[in-house]
């Protein structure tokens, strides 16, 4: 992975070979990931369906269908019905940015390298996909994002080529661009009796570190481990049991929230002093393999 500062000279490179690992990460398109997950699930599916009420672990769907369970897991995204119905409060802050997402065919081979450019607030990432394709996530001020999405395919390609300094040569659009508002969200609690929150229902962070999905997968893993390790006969919806999951996730979620929000503030801060500080930080970190390896191991957890 190559990360570039906003002065045109500073950079930081993470390399799997030098870190002694087979790969730093996998970039998987959302549709492919969801297909794999749906195929692995052994559940009864209700679709289309809309949740209407949650009371005493009984979930009522629109149309009157009622489902009961020992444990309701809210994995239903940032606008979680389960979180609202359970009365779990949240804190929310807008980043006043939107992420523009699209896929491109690239002229030059990406060679499995992810590229990221900090641009004094905006952040552009081009992530490698199979073949000669990359996935773009470009975090921009909300108005600027709206104008970028409105560009013609050719104009958008030229815009991204310029912003990426021609790193991958000429680009051609392979999927229509989409825009998503960016915000920071954190549920004040992850659990209550018979309810647990995971993923975006529990926390949403800025995509600049690419760790949002990873946090959600770690939630699911920790909740599954907590339930699997419960004492024989222990109710899976028992609040004291679920608090073990909440405690296990408290520090990792807080740490990632703090780091990502801090990076957003640092790389968005205006002024020559801040610019020198962040770009010097990139160059300094690049010179210390031990520090880079620590960052890599943390991101891979």
Residue 16 predicted with pLDDT over 90: no
pLDDT grade for 172, boundaries at 50, 70 and 90: very high
Domain presence at residue 28? no
Residue 297: predicted pLDDT: 74
The answer to whether 83 and 72 have CB atoms below 8 angstroms apart is no
Domain presence at residue 34? no
Percent of the chain residues past pLDDT 70, beyond the cut:
99
pLDDT, one tens digit per residue, over 216-267 is: 999 999 999 999 999 999 999 999 999 999 999 999 999 999 989 988 888 8
Within 10 angstroms of residue 181's Cβ, the number of other Cβ atoms is 13
User: Do 196 and 82 lie in a common domain?
Assistant: yes
Report cis status (omega within 30 of 0) of the bond before 46: no
Domain presence at residue 7? no
Question: Looking at residues 128-148, what average pLDDT do you find?
Answer: 96
Q: What is the dihedral of CA 182, 188, 191, 193, to 10 degrees?
A: -130
User: Do 85 and 102 lie in a common domain?
Assistant: no
Who contacts 261 (Cβ-Cβ below 8 Å, separation ≥6)?
Answer: 184, 205, 206
**Average pLDDT taken over every residue of the chain:** 92
User: Do 67 and 102 lie in a common domain?
Assistant: no
User: Do 259 and 114 lie in a common domain?
Assistant: no
Residue 291: predicted pLDDT: 76
Domain presence at residue 226? yes
The answer to whether 117 and 12 have CB atoms below 8 angstroms apart is no
Domain presence at residue 278? no
Residue 95: predicted pLDDT: 93
pLDDT grade for 209, boundaries at 50, 70 and 90: confident
pLDDT, one tens digit per residue, over 265-293 is: 888 877 788 888 888 888 888 787 777 77
101: which strand partners?
137, 178
Residue 50 predicted with pLDDT over 90: yes
Residue 301: predicted pLDDT: 66
pLDDT grade for 108, boundaries at 50, 70 and 90: very high
Domain presence at residue 248? yes
Instruction: Find the range with the poorest average confidence among 40-49, 55-64, 256-265, 267-276.
Output: 267-276
The enclosing domain of 135 has a CATH number of 3.30.9.10
Residue 145: predicted pLDDT: 97
Domain presence at residue 234? yes
The label of the residue with tokens 């395919």 reads 153
The enclosing domain of 225 has a CATH number of 3.50.50.60
Q: How many domains in the chain?
A: 2
The answer to whether 235 and 196 have CB atoms below 8 angstroms apart is no
Residue 206: predicted pLDDT: 93
Note every long-range contact of 258-265, with CB atoms under 8 Å and residues 24 or more positions apart, other chains counting.
259/209, 260/205, 260/206, 260/208, 260/209, 260/211, 261/184, 261/205, 261/206, 263/206, 263/208, 263/209, 264/95, 264/206, 264/208
Domain extent, residue 122, equals 95-182
End-to-end CA distance of the chain: 17
Q: Residue length, the chain?
A: 301
């Amino acid at each position: 992975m190559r990360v570039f500062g906003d002065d045109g000279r500073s950079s930081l490179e993470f390399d799997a070979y030098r870190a002694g690992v087979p790969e730093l990460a996998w970039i998987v398109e959302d549709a492919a990931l969801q297909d794999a997950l749906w195929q692995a699930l052994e559940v009864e599916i209700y679709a289309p369906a809309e949740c209407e009420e949650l009371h005493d672990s009984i979930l009522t769907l629109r149309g009157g269908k009622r489902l009961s369970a020992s444990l309701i897991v809210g994995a239903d995204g940032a606008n979680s019905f389960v979180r609202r119905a359970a009365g779990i409060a949240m804190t929310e802050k807008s980043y006043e940015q939107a992420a523009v997402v699209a896929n491109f065919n690239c002229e030059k081979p990406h060679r499995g390298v992810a590229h990221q450019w900090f641009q004094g607030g905006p952040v552009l990432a081009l992530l490698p996909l199979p073949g000669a394709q990359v996935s773009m996530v470009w975090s921009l001020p909300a108005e600027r994002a709206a104008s970028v999405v409105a560009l013609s395919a050719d104009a958008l390609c030229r815009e991204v080529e310029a912003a990426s300094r021609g790193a991958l040569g000429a680009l051609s659009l392979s999927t229509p661009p989409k825009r998503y508002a960016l915000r920071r969200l954190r549920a004040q609690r992850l659990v209550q009796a018979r309810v647990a929150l995971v993923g975006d229902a529990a926390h949403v962070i800025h995509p600049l570190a690419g760790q949002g999905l990873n946090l959600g997968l770690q939630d699911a893993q920790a909740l599954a481990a907590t339930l699997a390790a419960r004492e024989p006969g222990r109710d899976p919806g028992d609040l004291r049991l679920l608090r073990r999951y909440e405690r296990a996730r408290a520090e990792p979620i807080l740490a990632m929230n703090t780091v990502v929000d801090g990076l957003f503030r640092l790389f968005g801060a205006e002024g020559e002093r801040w610019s020198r500080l962040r770009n010097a930080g990139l160059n300094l970190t690049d010179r210390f393999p031990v520090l880079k390896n620590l960052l890599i191991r943390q991101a891979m957890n």
